[in-house]
Amino acid sequence: MWHAERDTMTHISPDRPLPSERAISDGRTAPAPPRAFRRTGIAIAGLLIAAAGGGLLWQTQKGQVAPPAPPPPHVTVSRPLQQSVAVNTSFLGQFSAVDTVELRAQVGGILTSINFSDGQTVRKGDVLFTIDPRPYQVRLQEAVAQLQTSLAKKALTGAELWRAQQLKRSDYGSAETVDQRMADEQSADAAINTARAAITDAQLDLEYARITAPFTGRIGAHQVSVGNLVSGSRGGVSQTTLLATLVSLDPIYLDFDMSEAEFIAFQHDHPGATKAQVMISLDGDGNFSRSGTLDFVDNEVNRASGTIHVRATVPNPDLVLTPGEFARLRLSIAKPAPALLVPAAAIVPDQSQNTVMVVGADGKAAPRIVETGELYRGLRIVRSGLGAQDRVIIDGIMLARPGSKVTPVDGVIKPDSGA
């Protein structure tokens, strides 16, 4: 080895200890290394650490591999189902009772009984209210007694007439007496008729003391409580007391309005027809499970609204339909024509429009704004915005994004078995 110190080079034997070693072995303190040497060592150590860290970072970055892109999502597609469908139009209607009656007292008196519960379905002839009948029973007894008096007078006048006629034949009586007795007999006949009429009148008042249901229907809340004095009049010439209201339920009317254009189309499709079938949905979910018959069209179009009033009669054997309730109804106003059908789940509704997703030839999903109609056998009618050869996404629509690639899988659109 060669030890350099300044400009002098000295040969040092390998077996000879260094000066520092000699100093340590002699018990003396070794001199500190030069300052430049310490700085050089620190710099070299920093470079080694930096190199090691850089190498580790390079190895880490080199080991990281970008994850592969996910495959396009699988969606089920199908071309729209083509079928001949009648052109139906939906309307909003309201049920009304065929018969509505206000139950009013026709005779006055104290109300003694109410024989129903509010809102109950009553049958024709059921006794609903009872007014104290005793005053009318008294009148009936008086009328019967008057009839008996008239019959007795009739018998007396008949006997007197016979005697007067016999006396006249024997020249012991005058013709004037016979005429008087004949007049008395006729007056007795009239009194009998009057008494019989009074009996009928009293019987009628007694009958009206029991208010019965004129038809089967649902009764409302009673307006007068037991113990109240009610006023009545058979002819309605004076104030009467309203006791309750009664409406019929089976059948029931469904009233709605049709625009002038729809009415013209209906007339064109049903020339001269006075009846047509309507389908009815109660809960608004498109399930038209009930049917009725359109049997009334008003005789003029309302000039203010441009509509005409139409009415259908609907059977209601289960008494579920209630007057005043609203319902959707569907009426065919044109002859059957080809139409495109898609599942309702394939349509994405928005606030102002409906959209379906279709898959193009490039395998990308694209939105289509469509105009939809009513449901037909569980499928939604598409009136415009869709072609017969378009591949519509019928399942997995939530996985498709506009402009993104998808993997289409062929499916089949099937309508419900029911009509």
Block mean pLDDT (10 aa), the chain, length 419: 40 47 45 50 50 47 65 91 82 93 91 92 93 91 88 80 76 74 80 88 91 93 92 81 93 92 82 79 77 90 91 91 90 81 90 89 91 83 90 90 91 78
Q: Are residues 188 and 124 in the same domain?
A: yes
Q: Are residues 151 and 243 in the same domain?
A: yes
Note the pLDDT of residue 273. Answer: 65
Q: Are residues 296 and 404 in the same domain?
A: no
Question: Residue 68 domain-assigned?
Answer: no
DSSP reduced 3-state for 338: strand
Cα separation, 153 vs 138, whole angstroms: 23
Q: Are residues 114 and 226 in the same domain?
A: yes
Q: Are residues 116 and 196 in the same domain?
A: yes
Q: Which of 247, 278, 293 lies at the terminal end of a domain, its last residue?
A: 247
Q: Are residues 273 and 326 in the same domain?
A: yes
Q: Are residues 222 and 277 in the same domain?
A: no
Q: Which of 336, 370, 387 lies at the terminal end of a domain, its last residue?
A: 336
Give the tokens for residue 175: 């013709």
Q: Which of 291, 313, 336 lies at the terminal end of a domain, its last residue?
A: 336
Q: Are residues 319 and 349 in the same domain?
A: no
Question: Residue 67 domain-assigned?
Answer: no
Q: Are residues 29 and 118 in the same domain?
A: no
Question: Residue 418 domain-assigned?
Answer: no
Place of tokens 């009467």: 240
Q: Are residues 275 and 322 in the same domain?
A: yes
**CATH code at position 271:** 2.40.30.170
Note the pLDDT of residue 38. Answer: 52
Q: What angle do CA 223, 228, 229 make, to 5 degrees?
A: 110
Question: Residue 146 domain-assigned?
Answer: yes
**CATH code at position 236:** 2.40.50.100
Q: Are residues 378 and 290 in the same domain?
A: no
State how many domains the chain has. Answer: 4
Q: How many CB atoms lie within 10 A of CB 402?
A: 10
Q: Are residues 195 and 260 in the same domain?
A: no
Burial category of 330 from C-beta neighbours within 10 Å (exposed 0-12, middle 13-18, buried 19 and up): buried
Question: Residue 385 domain-assigned?
Answer: yes
Cα separation, 120 vs 217, whole angstroms: 8
As beta bridge partners, residue 376 has 379
Note the pLDDT of residue 2. Answer: 39
Note the pLDDT of residue 29. Answer: 45
Question: How far, CA to CA in Å, does 214 sit from each of 85, 218, 247?
Answer: 45, 12, 10
Domain that holds residue 22: 2-61
